[in-house]
Amino acid sequence: MEEVIQSPIWKDSTIYGIIGKSTKELINSFKEKNIYCIKKHLESTMNHPTVYSRMENEIRKRNLIIKNLEKKIIDSLKIVGLRTSLLNQNIHLLSTSERKMIQLAICLITNPDIIIMEDALKDLDKKTKKRVYNLLQKMKDQYQKTIIFISDDTNILYQYTNQIVIYKNDQIIKTGNTQEVFENISFLKKHRIKIPDMIEITYLAKKKKNIKLEYHKDIRDIIKDIYKHV
Amino acid sequence: MSNIIQLENIQYGQILKNITCTIQNDFVMISGPNNCGKTTLIRILNREIKDYSGTIMINNQNIENYKLDEYLNIVQTIIPTELLFLEETVEEEIKLQTNNLEEINIILEEFKLKKLLSKKTNTLSDNEIIYLQLILALSHNPKILILDNISSYLNKQDYKTIINNLKEYQVKHSMTIIMTCIDLEESIESDYLYIMNHGELALEGNPLEVLKKDNIINKIGLDLPFMVDLSVKLMDYDLLKEVILEKDRMVEELWKK
């Protein structure tokens, strides 16, 4: 029997990573709170085909009173690094990354307490990934937001989160500090969770050759460490 | 026999500047940072965009000379950003979209997907949606299959399964597969890799040879696959002679007695 862990108390100013297959229920459990979920994909709708009308509608739907909405929409687009000429474009012509950044822009305007990102940072190039991460980090540090990354990419979760929540068969089976969870190799193996690449190299060096490398997050650090031990 | 796709001076507004290349490998990957023009190029190959300049020849025939329905029997494209199903069940949807029912049955067998038929189209998972698109595309028996960033819709495991299925299918049907991706990890599986940047081709060649050009790839703004990154950096320190993709082998190589 797995030990069942109560739903964590989602703390402010923290980036959580959630690993698990059907996390929908978990997301639904947030319903009453002020959350915004950046979905994998922003599908276009018939009623609000353009970026501007879609953004306006998404914001109105949330019953928020926002002064100078037009200016806020333009500003938010600039903050996420999109051209304002995009506002009149049809959503179905947007690229994958533009669809994600539009959602991030809506999120900035609606100012939720909890920001969830599905398939966090996936499909983004280095520069865009950095921009999204820096923005979310700022939301977390300066405005005490809770950020939740849902992902099956343990490399991303290892790199970018503070806390990990592992969800299996509709239950939370583990919560903990990101570093500690990912250093717990036997647990990861038992639950068929992919060991982050950086961790795995250190683990294999110890296991196969008894070389004691440390666990690193930056590839340059692991190179230096290997250099010292060869 | 491989298909030959020749692109000459393809230009489209500010998006594509001057794409010239000859695609003749079986499994081709096109990568590049966000908004570098990958999907636009795919839309041109899919003949959705017509007002481009330049010429595209497939097996020595200009693609504009084909009738559209003829063309769709040669080139099938999946761009999954906007998918819409009209019928209630998968079976009905298939019947609506294609007459090649025999072919569909064979493919369903091959992919072990018979179960999919009775499912409701509005309850399909992302993975099943991609499979349904794939089955519909393959039922045309295309010579060339183009997939735009499908990994975006799939978790890593499902993506791997689909690629393996496709590779098996490809061998039997001698089909060319062209895919796009952002994550260069996916390019390692391909026979030939193109990297686009700002609407131009920046790099091309055998994937591992291309990926060794870490400085250029960094400048373009893409992440190298972890093991390639680690290998190239260790090679800089003279600790390794070649790129090693398996971690076990890397550890053996670094600390061999």
Per-residue model confidence as pLDDT tens digits over A183-213: 999 999 999 999 999 999 999 999 999 999 9
Please say if the pLDDT value at position B99 is more than 90: no
Q: Work out the mean pLDDT of chain B and round it to a whole number.
A: 94
From chain A, the residues in CB contact with B182 under 8 A are 96, 123-125
Q: Is residue A85 part of a domain?
A: yes
Does residue A115 form part of some domain? yes
Residue A64 has pLDDT above 50, yes or no: yes
Q: Is the pLDDT of residue A3 over 60?
A: no
Q: How far apart are CA A42 and CA A56, in angstroms?
A: 15
Asked whether the predicted pLDDT for residue A2 surpasses 70, the reply is no
User: CA-CA distance, A118 to B148, in Å (whole number)?
Assistant: 20
pLDDT given at position B98 = 87
Tokens representing residue B73 in the block: 């029997």
Question: Can you name the residues that pair with B78 across neighbouring β-strands?
Answer: B147
Contacts of B247 in chain A (CB under 8 A): 197, 200-201, 204
Q: Which residues contact A4 (CB under 8 A, 6 or more apart)?
A: A171, A172, A173
Query: Can you tell me whether residue A59 is helix, strand or coil?
Result: helix
Say if A192 is an interface residue toward chain B (CB within 8 Å).
no
Instruction: Report pLDDT digits (tens) over A94-119.
Output: 888 999 999 999 999 999 999 999 99
Q: Give percent of chain A above pLDDT 90.
A: 77
Q: Which two tokens stand for residue A55?
A: 């953004």
pLDDT at B257 over 80: no
User: Is position A1 within any domain?
Assistant: no
A65: confidence class by pLDDT, cuts 50, 70, 90? confident
Q: Has residue A1 got a pLDDT over 50?
A: no
Residue A21: predicted pLDDT:
78
Determine how many CB atoms are found less than 10 A away from the CB of residue A125: 21
Residue B142 has pLDDT above 90, yes or no: yes
Q: Strand A171-177 vs strand A163-168: parallel, antiparallel, or unpaired?
A: antiparallel
The pLDDT score that the predictor gives to residue A146 is 95
pLDDT recorded at residue A170 = 82
pLDDT at residue number A45? 86
Domain CATH for A149: 3.40.50.300
Q: What percent of chain B lies above the pLDDT cut of 90?
A: 88
By the CB < 8 Å criterion, does A118 face chain B?
no
ipTM for the whole complex: 0.91
**Residue that wins the pLDDT comparison between B2 and B138:** B138
Asked whether residue A212 is domain-assigned, the answer is no
In a domain, A204, yes or no: no
Tell me the pLDDT tens digit for each residue of B167-223.
999 989 989 999 999 999 999 999 999 999 999 999 999 999 999 999 999 999 999
* Cβ distance of B226 and A125 shorter than 8 Å: no
A 10 A CB-CB count for A97 gives 20
Of A24 and B108, more confident: B108
Strands (E), chain A: 14-19, 35-38, 114-118, 146-150, 163-168, 171-177
Residue A79 in any domain: the answer is: yes
The answer, yes or no, to whether residue A169 has pLDDT greater than 90, is: no
Edge-first strand listing for the sheet containing A35-38: A35-38, A114-118, A146-150, A14-19, A163-168, A171-177
Position B203 scores a pLDDT of: 98
Report if residue A19 sits inside a domain.
yes
Closest residue of chain B to A43, computed from CA coordinates: B82
Domains and CATH numbers, chain B: 5-86+142-223 (3.40.50.300), 225-257 (no CATH)
- The domain total for chain A is 1
Among A179-193, B14-28, B98-112, which is the least confidently predicted range? B98-112
Residue A25 domain flag:
yes
Do B79 and B137 contact (CB within 8 A), yes or no?
no
For A158, residues 6+ apart whose C-beta sits below 8 A from its C-beta are: A178, A182, A196, A198, A199, A217
Structural domain span for residue A168: 14-178
pTM here is 0.94
At a CB cut-off of 8 Å and minimum separation 6, what does B106 contact? none
Q: Determine contact, residues B94/B135, Cβ cutoff 8 Å.
A: yes
What is the CA angle B41-B45-B47, rounded to 5? 115
Three-state SS across B84-103? CCCCCEHHHHHHHHCCCHHH
Q: Specify the pLDDT at position A32.
A: 65
The average pLDDT across A83-103 equals: 93
Considering only the C-alpha atoms of chain B, give the largest distance between any 2 of them, rounded to a whole number of Å.
65
Q: Which residues of A touch B152 (CB under 8 A)?
A: 40-41, 96, 119, 122-123
Which positions ≥6 away from B199 have C-beta within 8 Å?
B14, B15, B16, B17, B18, B19, B36, B37
pLDDT in tens, A16-43: 999 987 777 777 777 667 899 999 888 8
Question: What pLDDT does residue A4 have?
Answer: 56
Can you tell me the mean pLDDT for B237-242? Answer: 95
Longest Cα pair distance anywhere in chain A, in angstroms? 63
- Residue B81 pLDDT > 80: no
Between chains, do B153 and A127 touch, taking CB under 8 Å as contact?
A: no
Per CB-CB distance under 8 Å, the chain A contacts of B229 are 219
